[in-house]
Amino acid sequence: MLSIREQINYVNSLIAQAEKNLRSRIEGTLIVSKRIKSVQYYHQYYENGLRKRIYLKKTQDKTIRKLAQTEYDNAFLKDAKDLLGTLEILKPLNADRDEALLYDELSSSYDKLSPERKSLVIPYVLPRVEYTERWLSKEYANKGVSRDITSFMTENGENVRSKSEKIIADKLHSMGIPYRYEEELCLQGMYVHPDFTLLDPHKRKVYYYEHFGMMQDPEYCRNALIRIAKYERAGYRLGREFFCTFESEENPLDIKMLETKFSFLKS
Q: How far is Cα 130 from Cα 257, in angstroms, rounded to an integer?
A: 30
pTM for this model (two decimals): 0.87
Q: What is the pLDDT of residue 266?
A: 81
Q: What is the pLDDT of residue 109?
A: 97
Q: What is the pLDDT of residue 95?
A: 80
Q: How far is Cα 6 from Cα 99, in angstroms, rounded to an integer?
A: 10
**Residue 189 vs residues 11, 139, 185, 248: alpha-carbon distances, Å:** 32, 22, 10, 31
Residue 239 CB partners (closer than 8 Å, separation 6+): none
Q: How many CA atoms lie within 13 A of 222 on its CB side?
A: 2
Nearest in space to 42 (alpha carbons), one of 70, 68, 69: 68
Helix axis angle for 128-137 and 99-111, nearest 10°, is 90
**pLDDT, averaged across the chain:** 94
Q: Is 38 helix (H, G, I), strand (E, B) or coil?
A: coil
**Contacts by 153-162, CB closer than 8 A, 24 or more apart:** 154/181, 162/213
Q: What is the pLDDT of residue 19?
A: 98
Confidence of residue 1 (pLDDT cuts 50, 70, 90): confident
pLDDT at 154 over 80: yes
Chain segment 230-267, per-residue pLDDT in tens: 999 999 999 999 999 999 999 999 999 999 999 989 86
pLDDT at 148 over 80: no
Average pLDDT over residues 61-69: 97
> Which helix (H) or strand (E) is 198 found in, with range?
strand 196-200
pLDDT at 123 over 80: yes
Average pLDDT over residues 33-43: 92
Confirm if 190 and 230 have CB atoms less than 8 A apart: yes
pLDDT at 202 over 90: yes
Domain ranges of the chain: 4-125, 137-265
